[in-house]
């Protein structure tokens, strides 16, 4: 006991540098008020994908409360990669719902010093991430300047600077950036320029307009009064000049002299040619008749219909060609009573509506996972995964169903007495690897 009293660091909190990801659901209260059960079902499915991707990117969820999730990463690059993967995967799931029923996360990411309290993390590093999340659009991501400095030259992302923003209970303004696009995931929702903090500038601008406008109106009224007061003297000075302006009647008659100048315009000769052509109407019908025949030739219905069918036939391989290529992403197995969440990255190839892939299971196990399935024209996906030993005997079979939308594959299934499996892939190459 005396040793503890003498040691000033005996009861001090552990501190460390960490990248914090803070997420919550936009309009969660409205969604719950409209349909609690459906909202909870959708949220739980989204949360499972969220947790799987955090584990795959070597992160850790250290706190959850209601619709909020807090995760810790040792790397800013992995944290941002995870956040973009999460938004892409959840967007695919939300596309299956009505717009008013979509459960969309807002995500904020900050790199800062935090205090460790058991499994929880505390401090400004966490609070700034939570405030950045409020600046993000539903389905979007906002990051602090400290994160931006770490990932700027390491990830293929597009950013939009939101300037230095002041957040509630945060002493110093925070350099804030919005991620507008991620390679392989497309565009992300981003706040429009002139968001928070622009209200003061708008009031100042309005005040300046009032001052300038008021000064202009005052000058205008003074001018009007001055002109009204000097109107008699101005009229007297202008009156003698009125007669000379009324005398130039010859100039008024100049249009009559100008008339002949306009006469030689080529109106009448053209009219004469037209009238002469009209007097001999027989040649034109003879010349028109062949034109009519030639114009009727391209109009038969069968050629047009065949052209349309040919165009539609040519369009089909174009759509297929747009889908064909290499796809990769996470495959996650859900948590059970005896097994934790397990994720790994894999890849396959889509060609002509068929998807295939294979990869080794673990190291030196002699087991290979095979994937095969179909992607319909409407976007429905059916996949079978099974593992085989070297002798060809099967071990585990997993059947997955899902959707294909905007070059994103999202499928779910179960195996081994109900353990969940999720696949979230995106296109990585236009051709097979």
Last residue of a domain, one of 145, 166, 187: 187
Last residue of a domain, one of 187, 216, 239: 187
Domain membership of residue 310 (yes or no) is no
Domain membership of residue 377 (yes or no) is yes
Per-residue pLDDT of 252-301, as tens digits, reads: 444 444 444 444 444 444 444 444 444 444 444 444 444 444 444 444 44
Quote the number of domains for the chain.
Answer: 2
d(CA 320, CA 337): 42
Report pTM.
0.52
Domain that holds residue 338: 323-429
Domain membership of residue 339 (yes or no) is yes
Determine the pLDDT at residue 215. 53
Using 50 as the pLDDT threshold, list the residues of the chain that sit under it.
Answer: 1-2, 195-206, 211-212, 234-303, 305-319
For position 164, which CATH number holds? 3.30.70.1230
Determine the pLDDT at residue 213. 52
Last residue of a domain, one of 187, 206, 234: 187
For position 403, which CATH number holds? 2.40.128
Domain membership of residue 302 (yes or no) is no
CB neighbour burial string for 5-30, b if at least 16 within 10 angstroms, e if fewer: eeeeeeeeeeeeebbbbbbbbbebee
Domain membership of residue 208 (yes or no) is no
Domain membership of residue 413 (yes or no) is yes
Determine the pLDDT at residue 231. 52
**Torsions phi, psi for 26 (to 5 deg):** -75, 135
Domain membership of residue 407 (yes or no) is yes
Determine the pLDDT at residue 31. 96
Domain membership of residue 365 (yes or no) is yes
């Amino acid at each position: 006991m005396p040793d503890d009293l003498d040691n000033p660091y005996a009861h001090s909190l552990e501190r460390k540098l960490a990248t914090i990801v803070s997420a919550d659901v936009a309009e969660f209260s409205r969604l719950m008020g409209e349909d609690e059960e459906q909202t909870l079902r959708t949220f739980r499915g989204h949360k499972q994908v969220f947790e799987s991707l955090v584990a795959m990117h070597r992160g850790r969820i250290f706190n959850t409360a209601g619709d909020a999730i807090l995760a810790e990463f040792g790397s800013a690059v992995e944290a941002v990669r995870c956040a973009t993967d999460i938004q892409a995967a959840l967007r695919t799931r939300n596309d299956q719902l009505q717009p008013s029923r979509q459960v969309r996360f807002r995500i904020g990411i900050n790199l800062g010093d935090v205090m460790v309290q058991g499994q929880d993390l505390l401090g400004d590093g966490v609070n700034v991430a939570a405030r950045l999340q409020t600046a993000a659009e539903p389905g979007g991501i906002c990051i602090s300047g400290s994160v931006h400095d770490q990932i700027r030259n390491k990830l293929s992302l597009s950013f939009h600077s939101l300037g230095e923003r002041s957040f509630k209970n945060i002493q110093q303004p925070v350099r804030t950036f919005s991620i507008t696009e991620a390679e392989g995931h497309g565009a992300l929702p981003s706040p429009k320029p002139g968001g928070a903090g622009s209200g003061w500038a708008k009031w100042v601008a309005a005040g300046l307009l009032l001052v300038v406008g008021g000064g202009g109106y005052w000058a205008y009224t003074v001018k009007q009064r001055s002109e009204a007061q000097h109107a008699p003297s101005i009229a007297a000075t202008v009156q003698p000049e009125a007669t000379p302006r009324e005398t130039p009647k010859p100039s008024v008659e100049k249009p009559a002299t100008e008339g002949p100048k306009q006469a030689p315009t080529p109106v009448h000769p053209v009219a004469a040619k037209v009238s002469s052509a009209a007097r001999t109407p027989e040649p034109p019908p003879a010349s028109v008749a062949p034109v009519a025949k030639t114009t009727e030739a391209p109009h038969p219905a069968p050629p047009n219909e065949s052209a349309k069918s040919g165009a539609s036939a040519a369009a089909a391989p174009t759509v297929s060609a747009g889908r064909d290529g290499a796809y990769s992403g996470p495959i996650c197995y859900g948590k059970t009573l005896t097994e934790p969440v397990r994720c790994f990255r894999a890849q396959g190839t889509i060609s002509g509506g068929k998807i295939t892939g294979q990869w080794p299971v673990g190291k030196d196990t002699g087991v290979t996972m095979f994937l095969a399935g179909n992607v319909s024209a409407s976007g429905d996906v059916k996949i079978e995964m099974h593992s085989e030993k070297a002798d060809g005997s099967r071990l585990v079979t997993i059947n997955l169903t899902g959707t294909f939308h905007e070059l994103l594959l999202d499928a779910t299934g179960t195996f081994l007495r109900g353990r969940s499996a999720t696949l979230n892939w995106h296109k990585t190459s236009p051709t097979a690897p």
